[in-house]
Structure 1
Amino acid sequence: MPFRITTQPFGPLPSGTASLTEYLLEHTESGEFITVIPEFGGILRRLVLRKGRRLFALLKGPETPQELLADESYASALLYPFPSRIRHGVYHFEGEDFALKLNEMKRDNSIHGFVHGRAFSVVSQDVTPTSARLTLRYDYEGDTIGYPFPFILTVTYELMQANLLAHGSNPEADKMCALRIHYAAQNISTTRCPVAFGWHPYFTFTEESVDHLLLSLPGRTPISLDEHRIPNGRHPFEPASDINLHGIELDSAFAIEPTTEPDAPEPYAETVLTSLSTGVRLVVGQQTGEGKLNYLVCYTPTRRDSVAIEPLTANVDAFNNGEGLVVLDPWEELSGTIWVRLD
């Protein structure tokens, strides 16, 4: 069986605690693999996929435990119970005011939820002839300031044969792998709660400069952001188009228009990053539709070595503006799927 799951030490944290364990999901024949660190936010640290005879390292992430702790860019972070920003960290929900901890001090915001860096547990590992799948779980008791709503967040990472993805394919897909991520968040409190989910990967082609990349966006409505990166309006709808990233800086939010393909099994949208030097296309897909991933943020960090392509279920500051916000009744669930493939 070409797929397998193994573990390896990632190294001790500087605090002197026990060494982190990294899970390796790989296709032993093609050389493609992903690595996941459950004990630190359940992050996907490495993603290596093949196109033709060449392997591409597609994620920019921390290389050591020290970098993991020092990283302030939220590389590959799971963003829950809210992605992006909440102005002043304050929101009003069902007659009550709540104040979250500020963790973006320069803009006076709370940002990206609070599960990043927390310990997830491994609940299952499955290997089949066509995939390797790792499922993680984080149980939250409602003890973080500003969010007293207990939940269970479950995330499944799957390295799989690319031709098994429901969205898109090519003649070589049966010889290539793809990544699929499924998330499910369940409200286990006795009251309703506001929720939104996002993922924050930084994509690259083995550290190729952003200036050599082309970004292809789906149809979208750009969201206007103020100096605090909080929405203050919307621009007119823009059809699907390409952006040559040479000299371009992005920190942009969009409401996404799903595909209109008549044979699509479900609504979805795909963002494509193309290496102009090799012609290889990295496709980031997100399930759209009611309560799904209908928003997107794209960001180019100042180091110019990667592009953040962030699928989100809600707009920036959704806890206040309500755009894309889901309110779960007790025992209700928020879920969806993200995928990454080469084309």
Structure 2
Amino acid sequence: MTGTEYGLRHGDYTAVITARGAAVRELQFRGRDLIVPFPAGGPNPDFRGVIVAPWPNRIPDGRYTFDGADYQVPVNEAGRQCALHGFTPELDWKLESSTESAVKLSCAIEPGPGYPFTVGLTASYRLDVDGLHTTVAATNIGGNTAPYGVCPHPYLLAGPAPLDEWTLEVPARKFLEVTPERLLPVALRTVVDHEFDFRTPRMIGATKIDHAFTEIAFDADGGSRMVIRDPGGTGVGMAWDRSCPWLQIHTADKEHPAPNRLGLAVEPMTCPPDAFNSGQHLVRLQPGASHEASWSIFAS
């Protein structure tokens, strides 16, 4: 259940943030949905809008090795036998502060099966003329170095046309090939001459994507952004900083009778799938140390 909610407003933007999972339940610009919303008071389908930590994406079989020790976290993706999206989506975050246009929530990941570490997190949301800005800060409040990663999980909406008709732009040169059944990492591939090359904006069409992209182009200020546009002229985009060198894109494909391709999941990630095993871009959070990652969603 979504629990307590916090409504935000600034200019043409409004947002609703839930205590459960620190999720963005609704984000609108001039009354237009920028993300796929979900009903108040009920369950959150497909992790919509949540903060994902301490690992983004999945760990196969829930098993990983860190600093020479083997761990087993609970498997919550039965079909693929993976541990998916960490612990924070199911936590109730508590209010730290709020104004008309901003809210700050916090939670703690306590030691548990397969993750004997203590990490405190804050999620700060702020609306301004440029959209919804989020910063997630993590601090290791335990006595041992903790593996850590984070990402958001919104499903973006460009407009009323079907997703197939949207135009997508993603400034990434490589993507992570995955196994077809379990979506486990295989190898990095170039997007050149591949259907995943969206460096120049083009229509998504029937392309199915559930992959992580990297070698992202950042500007001189250390920022990057992606945009999707509806043929009717509306659009939505996401921006992030160098704390997130990976970007998961998912066209939200579902088998009938589930609703298919409702929106485009866009997840700036601090590390790739299964980073707890590969160690790639994995944050080693030392006792007392902190880490921050930031991103924004905006109307285009």
Q: Same fold (TM over 0.5)?
A: yes
Q: For 1:122-168, what per-residue CA distance to the aligned partner results, in whole angstroms no more than 9, with x for missing partners?
A: 101135xxxx21100002321x2111100101000101122xxxxxx
1:78 aligns to 2:31 (yes or no): no
**Which of 110, 115, 124 is the matching residue for 1:156?**
124
* Local SS of the residue matching 1:235: strand
Give me the whole-angstrom Cα distance separating, in 1, the residues matched to 2:133 and 2:42: 28
Aligned-residue offset at 1:20: 2.8
Matched, 1:136 2:105: yes
Q: Distance in 2 between matches of 1:219 and 1:81?
A: 24
1:249 corresponds, among 208, 215, 227, to 208
Deviation, structure 1 residue 271: 1.0
Alignment of 1:113-192 (within 5 A): 113-127=86-100, 132-142=101-111, 144-162=112-130, 178-192=131-145
C-alpha displacement at 1:31, in angstroms? 4.6
User: Hey, which bits of structure 1, 4+ residues long, moved more than 2 A?
Assistant: 64-68, 205-208, 236-243
Letter of the 1:35 counterpart: V
Find the aligned partners of 1:254 and 1:206 in 2 and give their Cα distance: 24
The 5 Å alignment of 1:316-331 reads 316-331=273-288
2:9 corresponds to: 26
Are the aligned partners of 1:60 and 1:207 in contact in 2 as well (CA < 8 Å)?
Answer: no
Equivalence map 1:278-289=2 (5 Å): 278=233, 280-288=234-242
Query: 2:36 pairs with 48, 53, 60, which one?
Result: 60
Please report how far the alpha carbon of residue 250 of structure 1 lies from its aligned counterpart in structure 2 after TM superposition.
1.3
1:216 equivalent in alignment to 2:169: yes
What secondary structure, in the 3-state scheme, does the structure 2 residue paired with 1:145 have? coil
2:295 is the counterpart of 1:342: no
Alpha-carbon distance in structure 1 between the residues aligned to 2:175 and 2:85:
20
Cα separation, 2, equivalents of 1:248 and 1:320: 29
Cα offset, 1:21, TM superposition: 2.2
Match of 1:298 in 2: 249
Shift of 1:206: 5.2
CA deviation digits over 1:210-241, x for unaligned, max 9? 02211101133111111321111111255722
- Equivalence for 2:230: 275
Give, in whole Å, the separation in 2 of the partners of 1:231 and 1:96: 22
Q: Which residue of 2 aligns with 1:169?
A: none
Q: Which has the higher contact order (CA 8 A, sep 6+)?
A: 2
Query: Relative to 1, partners in 2 of residues 1:318 and 1:76: Cα closer, same or farther, differing over 3 Å?
Result: same
Determine if the alignment matches structure 1 residue 49 to structure 2 residue 29: yes
CA distance in 1, matches of 2:161, 2:96: 36
Question: TM-score with structure 1 length normalisation?
Answer: 0.80
* TM-score scaled by length of structure 2: 0.91
- Aligned residue pairs total 288
Identity %, equivalent residues: 25
Question: In structure 2, how many angstroms separate the alpha carbons of the residues matched to 1:208 and 1:76?
Answer: 21
Corresponding position: 1:204 with 2:187: no
Give the root-mean-square deviation of aligned CA atoms.
1.7
Q: Which residue of 2 aligns with 1:234?
A: 188
The alpha-carbon distance between structure 1 residues 304 and 223, as it changes in their structure 2 partners (threshold 3 A), is same
State the Cα distance separating 1:306 from its structure 2 match. Answer: 0.7
